[in-house]
Chains A and B, each alone.
Chain A
C-alpha cells in the first residue's frame, strides 16, 4: 500500500519545528510502523536529506524507548507501543500524522526524540527499596500473598515510555509515578519507606513541570502496559496517609 506521512521535523532543542509531508510507497501489511519509518529514512538518506530521528531500541514493546503521537493518539490506534504497531492497522492511501510527545516536562531534542530524563529523576527521589547488596535475607523468609504480589507485578510492568504524559491534557506524569508507588507499596519489603517515598516522588513530579492530575483517564487509555487508573487512587490514599501521619 501507499501511505502519506506528515512528520514533525525539528532540527534541535529550542528550534522551530514544522510538519513535512512524505510519500512512502510499497508498504507491506506485515511491516511494523518503525520499519515503515526505516524505509522512509533509507530513501531520505539516499536523496541526501536528513533522516527522521526517532527513539527506539528493543522493538519488542518492552524497553519503553519508542513512542510517537500518531494521528493525535500516543502510540497510535492500537493499545500497544509504537514499535509493536503494524501497518495492517492502516490502509492504502492513508494520511498519517506523526508527532513527538508534547509536554513541557519532555522537551523535544530533535524531530520525534524527546528528553524524558524527568522520569529518572522521579525514581531517584524515592522510587526504590533501600536494600544494599549483600544485606538480603533468604528469599523465602517473607512469603507474600499471591494477590499482593500480582497487584505489585501489574503496576511494575510500566515501561516508562511516557505515553501517559503525552495523552494527558494536563501533561501529568501521575500514572507513571503511581505505578511505581503501587508496585513498591504492595510489597512487605516496601513498607518502611512507603510514606516517605510517595511524598518525595510526588514532590519531584511537581518540580519537573508535569501538570496536576484531574482524573481524566486519557493516560490509562493509551498505556501500552495497561497500568490501571486505580494506581492513582492508591497513590492519593498513600499520600494523604503519609501527610496525615506526619512520620516522614
Chain B
C-alpha cells in the first residue's frame, strides 16, 4: 500500500487547552486575543457559503462590526442546502427531565462517532447546543410547541433521551431562514456584502496566509479577485461525489478541494454517512435521492419478508412471515439504532435476496401499527408532509401500503482538518459546518449537523477568529499581487481547457459513472481488492474526462454545464483520495466498514491500537502520492469500548 501514499510527520491540535473538559472552552475564550470594536471595521472576512454554518457566521461577525463578504452559488443565500434538513436539531436542554445533560450529549456523540472524534471539540459542541436553541427562538424560529406553549422534543436514532427540537419536517428550513434573516439584516446595515450566483474557484495564499478567493460571477462569467484578512469556508459536504445522494444538485467539494490543493490538509475523507431511510432508486434517469426523515423510525417498523424472493403484496404477508430484523438483532435500540448500523443491516437483508421493490433494493417501513396505536390523525399531524412527499414521488399511498426505503449517501464526516479554533493548516483559513471534519468522528448522530453548523457559526468561530485577526489588518493587496494574478490565471486556463476539449461525453455521464464506482467500492462495504480496483478505474476515467468531455457554450454567460464540469473535475481528485483513505484504514469504524474487519456476528470491528487517529492528508499533485499526517486521539473521559446497541 505504501506505493499509494507516504507517511509524514504527526500533527497536533495546539489550540485546545488542557485541564477539566468543562473549563476548556472558557479558557480558550479567555486566552484568545480580542479585537477592539473600533478596529473591527478595518478588518475584512470572506465567508464562502450561506448555509447554517456560513449565514450564522456572516451575521454574527457583521454584528460584531467586521467587514464581511459572503458568497453562495445559488440566487439567494436562503437556498443553501441546509434548507433541506428535515428532522431536527439536538440540544442538551433537558426540558424533558429524562436524564439528559451536556455530559450525556457529549458522551453520546463521542460514542456515536465510534471514537474517532476529539473529546474537547465534542464537549464544546454539547455546551453551546443549549445557547443555539435560545438564539433561534429569539429570532422567531417557529419550533414545534406543546399546548402549554413550551417547546416540544423528540428522540432520534442512536440515543435514549428526547433532546431533538424540530419544526415539523422542516427544521433546516426554519433554522436557515432565521440565520438568513439575520444575515440580510446585516446586509441592510452595510456590514455584510452579499455575492449571490458567485462560485469560489480558487483560494489566494500570500506569504503563507489565506488572503482571498477567486470567484466566477455565474451570470457574466467574469473572473473576480476578492481579498480579505481571513477566509472562512462554510461550503458544505461532498456527498455528491457519489452522483446520487440526498444532497442538493449543486453541492460540491470545489471550495475545500481548491484549498486542499493550496496546502490545507483534508481529514478522514472516507468517512461518509449512508442514511438508512431514503426513497429507493426508480430508474437510470434518476438525478438525486430523497431522504425520508429518520424521525419516521420513531413510529415506523422496518421489516422484510422472511423468505427470499417473496413477491407478495406486503399487506398479504402475515406477521409470522415478516422479519422485523432491527428489532430482532438489536432488541434494546430496535428501529432506532444509529444510521450506519441500520443502513448496513438493510444492505445485508437485500444481499440475502429479501429486499423488496424494483431490483430488490428496498425494505419496508411500516406504519400500520402506529396508525392502529395512535390513530391516523396523530400520524398525519406528526409525519403528514413526509407522507405527502413520499406519495408525490412514488405514486404510492403510505397510509395504506408500507413505504419502501433504501440507504443513500447523505453526509460527509470528513472535511478540511481544523484545530480547536476551526482554523485549517493554512493560517487565516477557517472552516465551519459540514466542510470541516471536526466533531462527528466516523459517524454523525441524527440532528447533530444542524447543531454543529450553528454552533460553529454563531458561537465558536466568532470567539476564535478574533485571536487571528488581532494581528491584522495585513498588508494591502491588489490584483497585481503575483499570487492573486497566478490564481486568476489558473482559473481562466482551466475554464478554457474545459471548454475546448469538445469531446463525446457529457459531464453528467462522467459524473454518473464516477458515482457508480464510488457506491460500488467505497460505499457501505469496502474491501482491499475493491478499493484498489476503484482507484485504477477513477484514474482511467479522470484521464478520459480531460480528453473526452463535452461542454457547450462559452465562459461569458450563464453556463450550467461549465459549472458542473469544474465541480466534477474536483470530485475526480477527491474520489481517489477517499479510496486511498479507505484503503489505508484497515479497520471498521462508524460509516467506514471494511469487510476484512468484522466480529463473528458481522459487526464493525475497530482497531484502536492502530487506528485511533485522524488521518489528515496533504496534497502533492494530481495522481501523486499524498502524505499522511496522523493526529492521535486520546480519550480521557469516555472509555473506548466497542459500540453495542444490542
> Residues of A contacting B163 with CB < 8 Å?
none
Query: A20 at interface (Cβ–Cβ under 8 A)?
Result: no
Query: With contacts A131-B182, A146-B145, A184-B140 known, is A42 near B151, CB below 8 A?
Result: no
Q: Are A140 and B140 in contact (CB under 8 A)?
A: no
Q: Determine how close the nearest CB of chain A comes to the CB of B606; give it in whole angstroms.
A: 35
Binds A, one of B3-11, B279-287, B531-539: B279-287
Complex Cα gap A34–B127 (Å): 43
Whether A170 sits at the interface, judged by CB under 8 Å, is no
Interface residue total, chain B, C-beta cutoff 8 A: 81
A57 & B81 in contact (Cβ 8 Å cutoff)? yes
Instruction: Name which residue of chain B comes closest to A113, CB basis.
Output: B558
A48 to chain B, nearest CB (A): 6
A140 touches B95 (CB 8 A): yes
- Say if the beta carbon of A159 comes within 8 Å of chain B: yes
CB of A62 within 8 Å of the partner chain: yes
**Closest B-chain residue to A119, C-beta based?**
B76
Whether the pair B560, A128 counts as a contact (CB closer than 8 A) is no
Closest-CB distance, B516 to chain A (whole angstroms):
17
Once A119-B76, A129-B139 are accepted as A-B contacts, the answer to whether A58 and B81 lie under 8 Å apart by CB is yes
B residues in contact with A110, CB < 8 Å: 557-558
B140 touching A35 by the CB < 8 A rule? Answer: no
Report Cα–Cα, A145/B291, bound state, in Å: 31
Bitwise interface map of B from 230 to 248 toward A, beta carbon under 8 Å scored 1, else 0: 0000000000000000001
Once bound together, how far apart are the Cα atoms of A92 and B394, in whole Å? Answer: 19
- Contacts A53-B558, A119-B76 given; does A189 touch B550 at CB 8 Å: no
Chain B residues in 8 Å Cβ range of A156: 142, 174, 177
Tell which of A80-88, A206-214, A230-238 binds the partner: A80-88
For the residues of A in contact with B, the DSSP-based class is loop
B75:A55 contact, CB within 8 angstroms: yes
Of A45, A62, A125, A128, the residue contacting B84 (CB under 8 A) is: A62
User: B199-240, CB under 8 A of A: which get 1 and which 0?
Assistant: 000000000000000000001000000000000000000000
Q: Does A31 contact B (CB under 8 A)?
A: yes
- Please tell me if the beta carbons of B185 and A137 are within 8 angstroms of each other in the complex: no
Given A86-B393, A86-B395, A137-B138: A35 in contact with B181 (beta carbons within 8 A): no
> Which chain B positions have C-beta within 8 A of A130?
185
Which residues of A are at the interface with B, using a C-beta cutoff of 8 A? 11-13, 28-32, 34-35, 38-39, 42, 44-46, 48-51, 53, 55-65, 78, 80, 84, 86, 88, 109-110, 113, 115-117, 119-120, 123-125, 127-140, 142-146, 149, 152-153, 156-157, 159-160, 183-184, 187, 189-190
Q: Can you offer 20 A-B residue contacts whose CB atoms are under 8 A?
A: A28-B285, A35-B286, A46-B506, A48-B552, A55-B75, A58-B249, A60-B84, A63-B83, A65-B75, A78-B392, A86-B393, A120-B77, A120-B184, A128-B140, A131-B140, A136-B131, A136-B135, A146-B145, A153-B142, A153-B167
Q: Which residues of B contact A (CB under 8 A)?
A: 56, 59-60, 63, 74-79, 81, 83-84, 93, 95, 131, 133-140, 142-151, 167-168, 170, 172-174, 177, 180-182, 184-185, 187-188, 194, 196, 219, 248-250, 282-283, 285-288, 290-291, 389, 392-395, 458-459, 462, 504, 506, 508-509, 550, 552-553, 557-558, 560-561
9 more CB-based (< 8 A) A-B contacts, given A86-B392, A110-B557, A189-B138: A28-B282, A46-B504, A57-B81, A58-B83, A64-B76, A131-B135, A139-B134, A143-B145, A183-B142
